[in-house]
Amino acid sequence: MEPLNPSDLSRALMNASRREASQMKIPYDLTGLDWHNLGFLGWTDPHAPQRAYLFAPVDGEPLGAILRVTPAVKKQTMCSWCEDITEVSDVRMSFEGQHDPSRFIAERVQRLQRNIEQFLRRVRDTD
């Protein structure tokens, strides 16, 4: 990911009004981030925990979206980004990558990046 400053992030928000973009609270020192090792940047608003922000490079430009938290579901659900099942009743181990863990992790990271890009494209294309 290329380094971004607060103005870049505000301009990248696709589903926000100018007011919402200008009021965005960034809880990071952006100059201290290791941008080249980031696939995406995201955080929960420290003043509004029901709101979160997501930014990622898509088709050569930074795109961002405001995300709103939905009420918790008390059943097993699948994360559409990481394609991981979240069991809310207890914790379970996964043995999917036991034969080649580094390859397994690399593939999961690539898939996560692809899914985030597809999500941001859908947000862009519906606005």
Specify the pLDDT at position 78: 61
| Interatomic CA distance for residues 64 and 10, integer angstroms | 8
In which element (H, E) is residue 9 found? Answer: helix 6-12
Match 């207890």 to its residue by tokens. 90
Strand residues in the chain grouped as ranges (E): 41-44, 51-58, 61-68, 77-78, 85-86
Q: What is the pTM of this model?
A: 0.78
Q: If you ran DSSP here, which 8-state letter would residue 13 be given?
A: B
pLDDT at 59: 92
Query: Which has more pLDDT, 106 or 6?
Result: 6
In-domain check, residue 1: no
Q: Which residues span the domain enclosing 17?
A: 6-126
Q: Kindly tell me the number of DSSP H helices and DSSP E strands found in the chain.
A: 3, 5
Return the pLDDT at 21: 92
Please state the domain count of the chain.
Answer: 1
Q: What is the pLDDT of residues 108-122, one digit of tens each?
A: 888 888 989 999 999
Residue 94 phi/psi, 5-degree rounding, is -120, 130
The answer to the question of residue 61 being in a domain is yes
Q: What integer best gives the mean pLDDT of the chain?
A: 83
Q: Could you tell me if residue 19 is inside a domain?
A: yes
Of all residues in the chain, the percent with pLDDT exceeding 90 is 47
Q: What is the pLDDT of residues 34-89, one digit of tens each?
A: 999 999 999 999 888 889 999 999 999 999 999 987 776 666 666 666 665 444 45
